[in-house]
Each structure stands twice: as C-alpha cells, then as structure tokens.
Chains A and B, each alone.
Chain A
Amino acid sequence: MSVLIDIILAILAVYLALQSLLAPRLTQSVFLFFAFGLALALAWIRLGAVDVAITEAAIAAGFLGVLFLDALRDFSPRGSEKKENLEAVQNALPKNNTKSLLLPGMALMLGLGLFLLIALEAVWKIPDGGGLTAAAEALLPESGVEHPVTAVLLNFRAYDTWLEIGVILLGLLAVFAVGGIKIYRKPVMATQDPLLRQVILFFTPVLFLFGAFLLYIGKTGPGGAFQAAVLWGAIGILLHLGGRPVFSMIPRWLGQLLLTIGLGFFLILGFLFIAGGATLFEYPPAHAGVLILIVETMAAISIAAALTAIFANLNQMNEGPNEIESTN
C-alpha cells in the first residue's frame, strides 16, 4: 500500500514536470511548476526529510513561485497567447509542419532517450556506500545541538552554509547588477484595500512568531535558519505588497546591516576562533549550542532581508525609470 503511494507520487512529479514545460500558456507553466515543487515536498516527507520538505515548499515552490507569478505581470499581457501556443506545439511535437525542426527534434529526443537509459542503469546499480549516518550519530553529542541536520549545517559543514548565506547576498547583488541599485526609498502609497490591510495586520505577527518558533525548534527537530528566514521574508514581501516597503521605512545603514549581518557575524566569529588558536568555525565545545543559535538568528535575519530585497527589486524592476530614485 505504501509503495503505491510512492509510485503515484513519483508519477505525479514526473507528470507535473513534463506538463509545466509543455503547457501552452505561461501561467499554466508557473502553476504546474508550483505544484511540482509541492509534489517534491511530499516525496521528501515520504523519504523522512522533513527539513528539506519545509525548505522546498518555502523557498523553491513558495518564494520562487511568487517571483514567477510576479514576472507574469510582465510577460503574459503582451506576449500573445497565440504565439505561446505555437511555440508550445513546436516544442512538444516535432511532427509539426516546420520540417527544419523535425531533424534536430528527433536527434534531441534520441539523445535524451539514450542518456536516460544510461542514467537509469547508473542509479539502479548504485553501490551502497553506507553514507555518513554513523559518523554523524557518533559526533552529534559534541555538536551542541540535538538535531542531526542542524548539526551538519551549522557545525560539521558550517563552511558550506556560510558560503551559501553569501550566495543569497550575491543573488541580490546580481539582481542589482541587472537593474541598477534602486530598492531603497521608493515612495509607495499605502494600500487602500482594507482586506489586504487586514491580512497583513493579521499575518505579520503570526509569521514572525512561527518563524521564531521554527528557528528555535531547529536545535532539536526539523526547522532552523532557512525555514525561519523564508517566513520572515514573507513578512517583508507582504509589507511591500501592502505599500510599506521595509527598506524605505528604515535608515539606509540599518538595511545594509540587516542584509550583511548573517554573513559578517559568522565570519568574524570564525576569525575570532582562528585568533584563539582554533580553525575557522571551530566553536568552543562548551558554548557551541548558544553560539549556533545566535549564528542561526543572524543568518535568518540576513536571508529574510535578502529575500525581501530580491522580491522588491524584481517587483519594481520594470516600472519606468523616472519613478525609481537611484540612491547611488
């Protein structure tokens, strides 16, 4: 019975992936991709990876889905439906009347099919390396936290996590690079929609508390900085949509501090450890638990700020340049 659930879930994921690429309309594509993300999240719950499931649902499906939906404001109204239909047909069926597409299409299909067969054989015959479960279990008591995934993320492989916090900040810098720096201080009128106002009023504290809860629970169970960060980031996005962009309500230096504190604090802490004769990110064992909680909080603040800023910048990207005040 349980195998049946897995098979259905697997087929569903493949179906949704295919459909999101083949759907004739962009809107459908985006919603199917969103559904695909949720199917993957279910798969991960089935596989016992609750942390991954929360992250997937929150960031990959949730945050990215919101970015895609926001992008549709740009693309769908002007991109005519007819054009999209034609394009989808050409993608899906090489037998379309345009003969020039037939041969490359066939070759691509053939190549991919062959590649798929080899890939399937490779994953089918994969030897059992045993993983690092035992090693992680043995060293877990020394890590300062009780949840193994948090221990790996914030202690055993803290270096990767630190670089990853850097990658999110880089994502924001890269978005700046595309459109120039302009997220700060855009004068936006507060929303007139009373319903949206109520929603924001209700959700802001709820999201904040739930995020804080996820952050704290990360010590002992599924949850942690990234999951909390997305919830806090959601506050920023809601406020932005409600006409209260966070970055224009706070002083500039504070915004920059929020964006960089996760990366900077973690690094300076690491440098202090080096100065004390240890290696980068080598917590003193007695204080590991407390330090990890502080690092996680800082990281969550920065990630939330970066996600908010990425959304805000993308959201305003294509509103005429005269509306946007450059600060640099």
Chain B
Amino acid sequence: MTDLPTSPFPALLVGLPILLATLSLFFSARVKALVGLTGCLLTAGLALIAFFEVTQRGTVIHILGGWEPPLGILLRMDSLAAVFIAMTAVVGFFISLYAWRYFRAQAATTGGFPLFWPLWLFLWAGLNGLFLSNDLFNLFVTIEVIGICAVALAVLSGKTGALFAGLRYLLAAIAGSMAYLFGVALLYGSTGTLDLGLLGQVLEPGTTTTFSLLVITLGLMIKMAGFPFHFWLPPAHSSALAPVSALLSALVVKGAFYILLRLWMEVFGVSITYAAGQLIGLAGAVAVIWGSWQAFMQTSLKLIVAHSSVAQLGYLLMIFPLLILAPGVTADSAEWLSPTWTAGVYQVIAHAFAKASFFLSAGLIIMALGHDRIESLRDLVGNMRITAMAISIAGVSLIGLPPSGGFMAKWMLLKGIFMSGQWWWAPVVLAGSLLTAGYVFMLLRLAFAPAREIGTFRPVPKSLEVLALLLALGSFLIVLPADYLIQFLESSEVFGSGIESILKGGAYGND
C-alpha cells in the first residue's frame, strides 16, 4: 500500500478546516461568522480539487510523519473516500451558505450563534479525517471529534428539549465509541497492528475476532442510529437548529456507516458469516418499517423528518447481507454486487441531499410560522412557493420515484436483492417506499389545501428558500453522472467486491 502515489491533499483536508476554526476563535461574533463562512468555502473548494486529483491519479496516500504502518498512520484517499469527501463538500457548502444567512436573519434575537462556525469546521475536519483514515485507533479519535462537535451543535439553541436530547445523544455516542474501542483493543492485542490493510491480511478467525466484530459493529450501530439503537436520533435531530439538523442527518450519521462498511469489507472477512449478514439486514429492515411508520404518526414536521432518517438509514444496513458471498461464489461471478454497491452509495448521497433540503425547508417554515405543527402547513404553496417545491422534490426522492437519486438507490437495491436470490428483502423495500409516500403525500396534501386563515406566514429570505430548493434538485441531478461515478468507484479496491471469506476460509484478500 505504501508504494501508492503520495499527495499532500489528505493532510490539508483535515488541517485546513481546523486551522480556520482555530483562527475564527480570535474574533468577535460578527467576524467569526465571516471567517467561518470563508473557511467553509475554502474547505469545500479544497475537497473538490482533491476529488479531481483522485480521478486523475487514482488512490493517493499521505504517510503521516514519514512513519509507515504498522507503527505510523497512513491517510488513504481512494475513490470511495473521495466520493464521500466530495459529497460532504457539496452538501456542506450549501448548508454553510444557508447557515450564514439564517443566523444573520435571527442575529438580533439570538446573537447569531457564533460558536456554530468553529464547531462546524471542526466537524468537517473530523468527517474528512474519518473518510481518509486507515487506522483503527485514529478512526476512534475522529469519531470522538465528530461526536463532540455533533452534540455541541445539537445543543446550541440552549432549549431544555435540546439539552435533554443532547445529553442522551452524548451518552449513547460515548458508549458507542467505547464499545468500538474495546474491539480495537482486542484486535490490536491479537494482531499487533492497527492499520486496516495489514489487519485484513493477518487477522485469523477465532473467538476473539468474532467478539471484536460484535462489539465494534454494536458500537457503530449505536453511532449511526441503527435499529434498535435509534432512540437518541429523533429527539436530537428534531430539536436542533435547522442548519444543524441538516448537518447531523445528512453527514454525521454517514460517518459511522462508512467505518462499518470499510471494516466489514476490508478487515472482518474471516469472521463474518451468512447469519451475521442476515441479522444486520434484519435490523435494517425493521428500521425501514418502524421508522417510516413512526414518521407517519408524528404531528410536527421536524419529527417526521427525523424519524424518516431512521428508516432511510435502515436501507443502508440492508446492503450488508447481499455483500456476503456463499461458498463457491466469487466476486467476479456475483453480478449483483455492482448494483448493491451502487444502491448503497446512491442511498447515502441521495439521502444527504434530500434530507438536508428537508430540514432546511423545515427551518424556514418554523421561521415563518414560529412552530412546525403540520396542521399549520395549509396553503404552504400559496405562501412559500419555493419551499413547497423543495419539500415536494426532496419528498419524491425520499420515496424513490423516478428519476430521483432515491429511485436509483432503491431500484438498484431491488435489482441486487433479486439477482442474489435473497427475495425476502424486496417487500421491505416496497413497504418502506409506500409508507414514505404516505407521510410525504400527507404533507403535500396539507401544503396544497386552502388556508383557513390569512396572513399567518411571516416572510422569509428568498435566498434561503432557493438554497433548500437547490439541495432538493441536487438529489435528482446526482443521477446524471451515474455511469461515470460508478466507473470511478470501481477503481477502489473495496467497491464491487464482496465478502468471500467463507469460501477461502482464510485471510481475506490475501490468496
């Protein structure tokens, strides 16, 4: 791995946002926002440049301190990491612009939440660091950075409900990362390395390995709010400020999913069995049904959107059982792997765009109405045309109607399900879409219904509405470069391969 081309970009992607966050601490509230926004724009630009660098040169690495693994730490930017970093950059860019305008509009009463900026930049650095990390312990540090930033952002409003939700979120996050770290301790003890690549080569099956797999998976499931550990998510995401809710649901929960994916694919091959895959798939399936049903039952907009996240994250867990190959099947002959992978990546990206847009729109509705009870959404179309449009478009993508990114994800997932012969997951995908359609159309029906009283909507800045709409449109536009994106992703070692350990009965990826 250390003979790959080196590049300074991975280090800059982590260093630059932290440098700017540190810098912003020196300034007063108003300048802090400006420095913060500049930092966000620079980080987004840098991320896109790095993305293009990877498209040109392939996987690049950065050997920190010049010490090669196992003693040192290596940052690796392969196509999967590049896609996640670029997604963070694009979604983060829009949310940053929104946040700047949103806080400025309310600065008179709230002080403009200057702490948002350093925390968001730290969070961004943590996310980039997580996507680039190739070291088990370094991953722990990055998820702690992300966890503390996420909770601090979630409680920024200072309201009692947000504080309760934040403490619960924080305790769940600490428990999750400690469980993860316990697994790391055992893996280090049994192999003497923390580097993912080396670990995948030397890890032997056994009780300790299986147990590490168990605690690491449980810890990360808590972090990504996988069923049945989703309890902390709806209160925390729904009580946060609008731009923060968007960040938490679009980006933060994807971090834990990314680690889970990397570890299952690259490290744990030797101890993952068919049953383990079915179990995590079942958790995903229950989350899809339960989350969608709960969303359907809510009466406030932000709670609907937050519960919907639980369901949409469930789809991500459902790709795991399909990635595990039965004895005698190789990755080359298993043609359902490619659609399954595409489904996973598109689900992540489409959900990031659609959910960010949804939460930003919800923030505007709260700004206009002072609350977000859905019975007040009557005649949204007449009062906030652009926001109504954003909600419809994002909703369509969440349901998975063509030609949205959500459709692409669900269609590919169904394709993977039928091609792999695990047909029993198919009804879950369909039921999830139907239930999603249920709550989205419930919202739209209200939005189009005639108003009972006139003049309850206060005006909101047009630019904010447009930003939410652009994100919603993004969840459709991502379908356009699909061929190119999949081709690019296939250059990653992980993408397109499956877990074939049972077949080999030995070290994964080391034949």
Given known contacts A127-B208, A156-B65, A163-B142, is B26 in contact with A253 (CB within 8 Å)?
A: yes
Are A174 and B148 in contact (CB-based, < 8 A)?
yes
Given known contacts A131-B192, A280-B65, is B71 in contact with A136 (CB within 8 Å)?
A: yes
B side interface size, CB within 8 A: 60
Q: How long is the Cα–Cα vector from A268 to B72 in the complex, in angstroms?
A: 20
Given known contacts A170-B122, A260-B22, is B192 in contact with A125 (CB within 8 Å)?
A: no
Tell me, yes or no, whether A49 is within 8 Å of chain B by CB: no
Most chain-A CB neighbours within 10 Å: which of B67, B122, B207? B67
Nearest Cβ on chain B to A134's Cβ, whole angstroms: 9
Collect the chain A residues with CB atoms within 8 Å of residue B501's CB. Answer: none
Q: How long is the Cα–Cα vector from A283 to B64 in the complex, in angstroms?
A: 10
User: Would you give the 0/1 interface string for A242-283, flagging 1 where the beta carbon is closer than 8 Å to chain B?
Assistant: 000000000001001001100110011011001000111111
Are B186 and A173 in contact (CB-based, < 8 A)?
no
User: Would you give the 0/1 interface string for A162-186, flagging 1 where the beta carbon is closer than 8 Å to chain B?
Assistant: 0110110111011011101100000
Tell me, yes or no, whether A122 is within 8 Å of chain B by CB: yes
Give A147-161 interface residues, CB cut-off 8 Å to B.
152, 155-160
Are A160 and B138 in contact (CB-based, < 8 A)?
yes
Most chain-B CB neighbours within 10 Å: which of A122, A180, A181? A122
Given known contacts A259-B25, A279-B65, is B190 in contact with A129 (CB within 8 Å)?
A: yes
Give B41-100 interface residues, CB cut-off 8 Å to A.
62-67, 70-73
Are B118 and A122 in contact (CB-based, < 8 A)?
no
Q: How long is the Cα–Cα vector from A139 to B72 in the complex, in angstroms?
A: 11
Given known contacts A263-B22, A328-B114, is B72 in contact with A177 (CB within 8 Å)?
A: no
Closest residue of chain A to B116 (Cβ to Cβ) is: A177
Nearest Cβ on chain B to A173's Cβ, whole angstroms: 6
Q: How long is the Cα–Cα vector from A170 to B150 in the complex, in angstroms?
A: 11
Q: How long is the Cα–Cα vector from A173 to B210 in the complex, in angstroms?
A: 38
Nearest Cβ on chain B to A137's Cβ, whole angstroms: 10
Q: How long is the Cα–Cα vector from A40 to B259 in the complex, in angstroms?
A: 31
Tell me, yes or no, whether B15 is within 8 Å of chain A by CB: yes
Are A328 and B15 in contact (CB-based, < 8 A)?
no
Nearest Cβ on chain B to A273's Cβ, whole angstroms: 9
Are A127 and B204 in contact (CB-based, < 8 A)?
yes
Are B207 and A280 in contact (CB-based, < 8 A)?
no
Given known contacts A156-B65, A256-B25, is B15 in contact with A271 (CB within 8 Å)?
A: yes
Tell me, yes or no, whether B111 is within 8 Å of chain A by CB: yes
Tell me, yes or no, whether B435 is within 8 Å of chain A by CB: no
Nearest Cβ on chain A to B115's Cβ, whole angstroms: 5
Are B207 and A178 in contact (CB-based, < 8 A)?
no
Q: How long is the Cα–Cα vector from A87 to B192 in the complex, in angstroms?
A: 44
User: Would you give the 0/1 interface string for A1-43, flagging 1 where the beta carbon is closer than 8 Å to chain B?
Assistant: 0000000000000000000000000000000000000000000
Given known contacts A132-B192, A177-B153, is B25 in contact with A260 (CB within 8 Å)?
A: yes
Which secondary structure dominates where chain A touches chain B?
Answer: helix
Give A198-229 interface residues, CB cut-off 8 Å to B.
none
Cβ 8 A contact of A267, one of B19, B66, B214: B19
Collect the chain B residues with CB atoms within 8 Å of residue A264's CB. Answer: 19, 22
Q: How long is the Cα–Cα vector from A118 to B29 in the complex, in angstroms?
A: 52
Closest residue of chain A to B156 (Cβ to Cβ) is: A177
Collect the chain A residues with CB atoms within 8 Å of residue B212's CB. Answer: 122
Most chain-A CB neighbours within 10 Å: which of B6, B73, B206? B73
Q: How long is the Cα–Cα vector from A311 to B141 in the complex, in angstroms?
A: 23
Tell me, yes or no, whether A189 is within 8 Å of chain B by CB: no
Are A155 and B145 in contact (CB-based, < 8 A)?
no
Are A278 and B18 in contact (CB-based, < 8 A)?
no
Nearest Cβ on chain A to B46's Cβ, whole angstroms: 13
Cβ 8 A contact of A170, one of B26, B67, B148, B214: B148
Nearest Cβ on chain B to A166's Cβ, whole angstroms: 6
Nearest Cβ on chain A to B350's Cβ, whole angstroms: 31
Nearest Cβ on chain B to A33's Cβ, whole angstroms: 15
Are A173 and B119 in contact (CB-based, < 8 A)?
yes
Given known contacts A259-B25, A281-B64, is B8 in contact with A274 (CB within 8 Å)?
A: yes
Are A279 and B70 in contact (CB-based, < 8 A)?
no
Which secondary structure dominates where chain B touches chain A?
Answer: helix
Q: How long is the Cα–Cα vector from A123 to B364 in the complex, in angstroms?
A: 52
Collect the chain A residues with CB atoms within 8 Å of residue B457's CB. Answer: none
Q: How long is the Cα–Cα vector from A164 to B137 in the complex, in angstroms?
A: 12
Tell me, yes or no, whether B330 is within 8 Å of chain A by CB: no
Most chain-B CB neighbours within 10 Å: which of A125, A129, A278? A129
Closest residue of chain B to A174 (Cβ to Cβ) is: B152
Nearest Cβ on chain A to B47's Cβ, whole angstroms: 17
Cβ 8 A contact of A282, one of B66, B141, B190, B204: B66
Tell me, yes or no, whether B455 is within 8 Å of chain A by CB: no
Most chain-A CB neighbours within 10 Å: which of B122, B202, B212? B122
Given known contacts A158-B65, A177-B153, A280-B65, is B122 in contact with A119 (CB within 8 Å)?
A: no
Tell me, yes or no, whether A121 is within 8 Å of chain B by CB: yes
Collect the chain B residues with CB atoms within 8 Å of residue A278's CB. Answer: 66
Nearest Cβ on chain B to A200's Cβ, whole angstroms: 29
Tell me, yes or no, whether B163 is within 8 Å of chain A by CB: yes
Q: How long is the Cα–Cα vector from A315 to B339 in the complex, in angstroms?
A: 56
Tell me, yes or no, whether A130 is within 8 Å of chain B by CB: yes
Are A123 and B208 in contact (CB-based, < 8 A)?
yes
Give A276-305 interface residues, CB cut-off 8 Å to B.
278-283
Are A158 and B64 in contact (CB-based, < 8 A)?
yes
Are A280 and B193 in contact (CB-based, < 8 A)?
no
Cβ 8 A contact of B208, one of A122, A136, A139, A171: A122
Are A132 and B70 in contact (CB-based, < 8 A)?
yes
Collect the chain B residues with CB atoms within 8 Å of residue A282's CB. Answer: 64-66
Tell me, yes or no, whether B469 is within 8 Å of chain A by CB: no
Are A159 and B188 in contact (CB-based, < 8 A)?
no
Are A157 and B192 in contact (CB-based, < 8 A)?
no
Are B26 and A256 in contact (CB-based, < 8 A)?
yes
Tell me, yes or no, whether A135 is within 8 Å of chain B by CB: yes
Tell me, yes or no, whether A126 is within 8 Å of chain B by CB: yes
Nearest Cβ on chain B to A178's Cβ, whole angstroms: 6
Most chain-A CB neighbours within 10 Å: which of B15, B118, B158? B15
Given known contacts A121-B207, A139-B71, A167-B141, is B111 in contact with A129 (CB within 8 Å)?
A: no
Are A280 and B190 in contact (CB-based, < 8 A)?
no
Q: How long is the Cα–Cα vector from A178 to B157 in the complex, in angstroms?
A: 9
Q: How long is the Cα–Cα vector from A274 to B72 in the complex, in angstroms?
A: 17
Are B72 and A157 in contact (CB-based, < 8 A)?
yes
Given known contacts A167-B144, A270-B11, is B6 in contact with A279 (CB within 8 Å)?
A: yes
Cβ 8 A contact of A122, one of B15, B152, B186: B186
Are A177 and B115 in contact (CB-based, < 8 A)?
yes
Are B66 and A279 in contact (CB-based, < 8 A)?
yes
Jot down 15 A-B pairs with beta carbons below 8 A, ordered by A.
A122-B208, A126-B208, A127-B190, A129-B190, A132-B192, A157-B137, A160-B138, A166-B145, A167-B141, A167-B145, A167-B148, A177-B156, A181-B115, A259-B25, A280-B15
Q: What are the 5 tightest A-B residue pairs by CB atom distance, in nearest-first order?
A: A122-B211, A129-B192, A174-B152, A280-B11, A282-B66
Known: A160-B73, A160-B138, A170-B119. 6 other contacts (CB 8 A): A129-B191, A130-B192, A263-B22, A279-B6, A281-B65, A282-B66
